[in-house]
Structure 1
Amino acid sequence: MTLEQPIAIAVTPAPWWTSAVVYQVYPRSFADSNGDGVGDLAGLTSRLDHLERLGVDVIWLSPVYASPHADNGYDISDYQAIDPVYGTFDDFDELLAQVHARGMKLVMDLVVNHTSDEHPWFVESRSSKDNPKRDWYWWRPPRDGFEAGQPGAEPTNWQSFFSGPTWTLDEATGEYYLHLFDRKQPDLNWENPEVRQAVYAMMRWWLDRGVDGFRMDVINLISKNPALPDGATIGVGGLGDGFPHYSMGPRIHEFLQEMHREVFEGRAGDLLTVGETLGVTWEQARLFTDPARRELDMVFQFEHVSLDHGPGGKFDPKPVDLRELKASLARWQAGLAEVGWNSLYWNNHDQPRVVSRFGDDDRYWRESATALATVLHLQRGTPFVYQGEELGMTNAPFAGVHDLRDVESLNHYHQSVAAGADPESVLRGLRAMGRDNGRTPVQWDAAPNAGFTDGEPWIAVNPNHTWLNAQAQYDDPRSVFNHYRRLIALRHRLPVVALGDFRMLLPDDPFVFAYERTLDDTRMVVVANLGDTPRTAALDGEWTAGDLVLSNTDEVSFVSGRIALEPWSAHVFVR
């Protein structure tokens, strides 16, 4: 199969989520109802009309569980409690009722690769070497020939996602515990069946309460090579790459199939399961999402959002080559055409804003935001909209490290500067790629703090909220918001969007992104100029103005059979 050949797909039966659109809420930054500067559940409920107006089908709610917030809620201390900063269970139940009353679904964030070190499970586990829950986490003695606390005594040389080693010494017991992320996020030992059963019981409890599924955080990391071997040296201080030993571990599919049997099988209702799967290939994603295997409905992959990482990694960005981006997305369209399913996203709480990353957030802000949305949303897969993306929110102008809040960014800054890096160079990388870019408050209006809060926001509001905000866009037919509305409506209205074959057009063009979708007698062509210079493109067939169903410009013209493309223009034709 080549990328230029039409990709045939089965059209029946079609699960409900093939024509659905998911909206991610990062509650800390969405809407604050009580003036404490942190978004909450009541604030989200008060803004549900915005999501209903947008037309989304599912809300993915980032963690609202009890947490000490070392990683903004992705360090959970009680899976069956609402953190007071977000409200109460009465607030949650009211939110869930209001979501369902509007015909939408609510999916919870499931974080079970790790817990907080303040979770009762870990408190027990670290209390003594013979505690019944000791084996619920990964504990190891110092490396042979070293005493606890000595440099190099860590059981393996793995480097954490958040900088530094993946092992922290527990002084009381003299052993180290594993944490792939922050030291306050110890990894659960899924090899222990008691751990798995405790997780499944918690998941059933939430489903019984009425939630409609789970987005599963870093779910492909739950199975590790029990030998925990060293990785190839990559980092400062001799730290190594442990990823091959804890990603896609030997029992990952066994665990997910067991989860499906224990939690989802036999339940009535239309549930959704989405797995965040770091580093997976499309071949691996087929296994996760093949319905016959009963694992996950879809996965998040990271290939396309890694293409602008430079030689120094994520915080050393380089311009993305559109040809590489198209080839990556086309591989996934082809690879999951006959078996499995794609998720489609540009943004989430871990990524910078796409209009600043792949677009032009200055002269062609509106045009590039809508063009990027168009080429993504009309591919085969379930689109995910991250809060503020539908407004074209941009990266924030962080003046210095004092403006940052994200643990990953702060760790990277301090470790890099301590190793001799130029502070301003480090900040440039963080301004471009840091996770705080996606976490500034949603810009509701031009009022102080963008209508997010009456208090002091936990992280500064982007100053461009005075003109870039929801209120300014609702009644503007050319706005980013209304373009997203029309994209979502097309997916709901036209079966070709959800179920059509996919064929990439002009794969070698460095500026034009074009593709074809076909279903029965319906043909849809999407064409966009993702650059700031006018272009022309030759497309198959006889296309006339009557075929145009969506555009981000006022008019479309053809010259000698070629479509004229203004900078960052995007058009959709159907016949």
Structure 2
Amino acid sequence: MTLTHTVPAPSSTTSSWWKSAVVYQVYPRSFADSDGDGIGDLRGIRARLDHLQRLGIDVLWLSPIYRSPQADNGYDISDYQDIDPTFGTLKDFDDLLADVHERGMKLVMDLVVNHTSDEHPWFVESRSSTDNPKRDWYWWRPARDGFAPGAPGAEPTNWESFFSGPTWTLDEETGEYYLHLFDPKQPDLNWENPEVRQAVFAMMRWWLDRGVDGFRMDVINLISKNTNLPDGPVGNAGLGDGFAHYANGPRVHEFMQEMRREVFADRPGDYLTVGEMPGVTWQDAVLFTDPSRGELDMVFQFEHVNLDHGPGGKFDPRPLQVSDLKASLGRWQRELGPTGWNSLYLGNHDQPRSVSRFGDDRAHWRESATALATVLHLHRGTPYIYQGEEIGMTNAPFASVEDLRDIESLNHYREAVVTQDAEHVMTAIRHIGRDNARTPVQWDDGPQAGFTAGSPWIGVNPNHAWLNATAQYDDPRSIYCYYQHLIGLRHNLPVVAHGDFTMLLDDHPAVYAYERHHDETTLLVMANLASEHADIELDVTSAELLLSNTETGTPPKEGRLSLAPWEARIYLSTSLR
């Protein structure tokens, strides 16, 4: 790795603080276990804050830690204002929050309000009778006309759940069906009811009063449904695709603006709000993130992480084409940039490990991990690092379905093996399954990777013997060290946070290159995202090599560059334009 430039002090004039910030997502169950029960917890996170501070992280985003039956690893919440005993207590949370703030970092909570757990008191009341005052807090419907409750095809709509099977489950006691876009234990809240919205807003204010610095909002663009609940086009599974009827619904912007007014208006402080939005387009995102509309700071979009999905969907993966990635991310940079703001990510708790998915985790593990990070972090937007990404954690070698824990993968396996070879199904799950992101963080080469003194809830990747944080801290060529440099560039070079964006070499099949310009400074970023050499024509003779992920790259010659496999370079200039 080459670092040849000392960056200047940061500009004294910046706009929203999160434009120069880097967010780190912690999946608490798999981050660090303090009590030996095999499950990560809040005290474990607190004990590892040095790792984040040393990296240069500004914001810690916690995946759900609320009280939950854990049907979907905490995304099924039974009490929004308590901590699940698995993770600790409210005092443990307060202690963690105080430590985070003392280190100059912020903490963002995961907000899951499209649905609750079926064990939440709201739903327990709602299902108790058809005339309960909270009945309308959820989506209840009788059987389809002409069908008896429970009969095949009697569900109110033909929609298929994100986790397989129908989106409706019959409640035997009341004889009606309730809607759940995800698991049957995750009934959808009815945001059409103003009492629901006010209860959610009161809960959010409670957390802000406690000191949290904002929210990442889970599938927040699903909260407004078409109240007519029409059927969707029938797919291969015999169920319908209802997405057009429950995503980005008719009142979603109204609801988001109401949330901003009710929760954040007239409140001292500068909070971060980011909405996870499956299926959102850049046109939608412009509306959600336009500051003048008072909705969100940024959104998580899925377009680029769906590019390797084949005709059969997520579990039918195909190789990613670099040209497709450039077209997608470039479009979001170009279209969203003038008005709103991008969130930048390749991995999270719902995605496999980026170096295994988009890189070469065998022959070019280090180089591909750092090349992907280079391309991502220097775009216009706020970068998100998923735990372990900063040390290059890879997908896990799950031997069989017994090694899996994720409800999505388990449901898919159960259905797919009816018509497909079991090993073929497992191969796809090993590549794209969510459990890849949920194996424990690899802290050292000791037993269970330093994650726990007990037996971990999901198996540790055996490559922790050499791939671990401790081995990288003091290695100047490590992936961790390279991430430190990338984060430093965002903190210290105004062009990274505030510069415009111009895609270069649009048609090159392997090299991802772009230019950022701000005031009199230009940043030129390039990376060969392939395992073969690549030659390009770019004149960098007047620029200074700022950072590279190789020790000795080929010098530029007469406007041409030769990039080694997965080589990344960053040039700084005041005269490239």
Aligned equivalent of 1:355: 355
Deviation at 1:143, TM superposition (A): 0.4
1:567 aligned residue (562, 565, 568): 565
How much does 1:171 deviate? 0.4
Residue 391 of structure 1 contacts residue 468 of structure 1 at CA under 8 Å; is this kept in 2? yes
1:426: which partner in 2? 425
Q: Is 1:22–1:383's contact at 8 Å kept on the other side of the alignment?
A: yes
Alignment match, 2:371: 371
Q: Which moved more, 1:292-301 or 1:548-557?
A: 548-557
Residue 40 (structure 1) shift: 0.0
Which runs of 4 or more aligned residues in structure 1 lie more than 4 Å from their structure 2 counterparts after TM superposition?
A: none
1:124 partner SS? helix
5 Å matches for 1:148-547?
148-236=149-237, 238-418=238-418, 420-543=419-542, 547=544
Question: 1:215 touches 1:275 (CA, 8 Å); kept in 2?
Answer: yes
SS of 1:402 mapped into structure 2: helix
Equivalent residue number for residue 4 of structure 1: none
Specify the code of the residue in structure 2 equivalent to 1:25: V
Matched AA of 1:527: M
Q: What is the number of residues matched between the two proteins? A: 561
**Alignment match, 1:8:** none
Q: Describe the superposition over 1:490-519 as per-residue Cα deviations: whole angstroms up to 9, x where unpaired.
A: 000000001111000001000111000011
Other structure's SS at 1:90 match: helix
2-side partners of 1:273 and 1:133: how far apart? 28
Q: Following the alignment from structure 1 to structure 2, what is the Cα–Cα distance between the partners of residues 541 and 311? A: 41
Question: What amino acid sits opposite 2:232 in the alignment?
Answer: G
Q: What secondary structure is seen at the aligned counterpart in 2 of 1:143? A: coil
* Aligned partner letter, 2:67: A
SS of match in other structure, 2:81: strand
Aligned 8 A contact 2:117 2:185 in 1? yes
- State the match for 2:5 in structure 1: none
**What one-letter code is carried by the residue in structure 2 that aligns with 1:570?**
A
- Cα distance in 2, alignment partners of residues 22 and 185 from structure 1: 28
Which SS does the other structure have where 1:558 is aligned?
coil
1:416 and 1:170 map into 2 onto residues whose CA distance is 27
1:573 maps to a residue whose letter is: Y
Counterpart Cα distance in 2 of 1:550 and 1:268? 39
Residue pair 1:140, 1:155 contacting (<8 A) in 2 also: yes
Say if 2:539 and 2:559, in contact at 8 Å, map to a contact too: no
Q: CA deviation at 1:235?
A: 3.5
**Alignment correspondent of 2:118:** 117
TM-score by length of structure 2 reads 0.96
TM-score normalised by L of structure 1: 0.97
Q: Is the Cα contact below 8 Å between 1:137 and 1:186 reproduced in 2? A: yes
Structure 1: distance between partners of 2:246 and 2:83: 30
Q: Does 1:555 align with 2:556?
A: no
Q: Which amino acid aligns with 1:291?
A: P
Shift of 1:560: 3.3
In structure 2, runs of 5+ residues without a counterpart are: 1-11
The alpha carbon displacement at 1:542 in A equals 2.4
Whichever residue aligns with residue 209 of structure 1, its letter is R
2:104 is the alignment partner of 1:107? no
Q: 1:541 to 1:469 in 2, by over 3 A?
A: closer
Q: What's the secondary structure of 2:119's corresponding residue?
A: coil
| SS class of match (2:417) | helix
Give the deviation of 1:128 after TM superposition. 0.4
Distance apart, 1:12 and its partner CA: 7.7
Give the superposition deviation at 1:561: 2.5
Name the aligned partner's letter for residue 483 of structure 1. Y
Deviation at 1:186, TM superposition (A): 0.1
SS at match of 2:209: helix
CA pair 13-488 structure 1, distance change in 2 beyond 3 A: closer
Deviations 1:92-150 (A, max 9, x none): 01000000000000000000000000000000000000000000000000001110111
Aligned positions of 1:30-179 closer than 5 A = 30-179=31-180
C-alpha distance in 1 between matches for 2:112 and 2:103: 27
Q: Distance in 2 between matches of 1:396 and 1:558?
A: 39
Amino acid at match of 2:199: A
Give the deviation of 1:13 after TM superposition: 6.0
What one-letter code is carried by the residue in structure 2 that aligns with 1:351? Answer: Q
SS of structure 2 residue aligned to 1:240: coil
**1:428 partner amino acid:** T
Asked if the contact 2:398–2:404 (Cα under 8 Å) also holds between the matched residues in 1, the reply is: yes
Q: Deviations over 1:273-320 (max 9, x none)?
A: 000011011011000000000000000000000000001100010001
CA distance in 2, matches of 1:177, 1:541: 61
Letter in 1 for 2:377: H
Task: Give the whole-Å Cα distance in 1 for the aligned partners of 2:461 and 2:73.
Answer: 19
| 1:552 counterpart letter in structure 2 | N
C-alpha contact 2:545 2:571 (8 A) present in aligned 1: yes
Cα deviation per residue 1:305-362 (whole Å; 9 max; x = unaligned)? 0000001100010001100110100000001111000000000000000100010000
Query: In the alignment, is the contact (CA less than 8 A) between 1:159 and 1:235 conserved in 2?
Result: no
Is this contact kept in 1: 2:371–2:568, CA < 8 A? yes
What is the aligned-residue identity percentage?
72
What is the distance in 2 between the residues matched to 1:82 and 1:355? 33
CA contact (8 A) 1:390 1:481 kept: yes
User: Greater CA deviation, 443-452 or 422-431?
Assistant: 422-431
Aligned equivalents of 1:59, 1:24: Cα separation in 2: 6
Deviation at 1:543, TM superposition (A): 4.0
Deviation track 1:353-395 (CA, whole Å, cap 9, x = no partner) reads 0100010000100000000000000000000000000000000
* Residue identity matched to 1:170: D
Counterpart of 1:6 in structure 2 is none
Determine the structure 2 residue equivalent to 1:5. none
Letter in 2 for 1:487: L
| CA distance in structure 2 between the partners assigned to 1:323 and 1:543 by the alignment | 28
Distance 1:555 1:536 in 2: 16
- 1:540, distance to aligned residue in structure 2 (A): 3.8
1:3 is aligned to: none
- Tell me if structure 1 keeps the 8 A contact 2:540–2:571: no
Calculate the aligned-residue CA RMSD, in Å.
1.0
**Which residue identity does 1:133 align to in structure 2?**
K
Cα distance between partner residues in 2 of 1:350 and 1:190: 25
Judge conservation of contact 2:405–2:435 (CA < 8 Å) in 1: yes
Residue deviations 1:465-514 (CA, integer Å, cap 9, x gap): 00000000000001000000000000000000011110000010001110
Aligned-partner Cα distance in 1 for 2:414–2:539: 54
Secondary structure in structure 1 of the residue aligned to 2:395: coil
Gaps of 5+ in 1: 1-10
What displacement does 1:541 show? 4.8
Conservation of the 8 A alpha-carbon contact between 1:63 and 1:74: yes
Q: Deviations over 1:32-66 (max 9, x none)?
A: 00000000000000000000000010000000000
Q: Distance in 2 between matches of 1:235 and 1:133?
A: 36
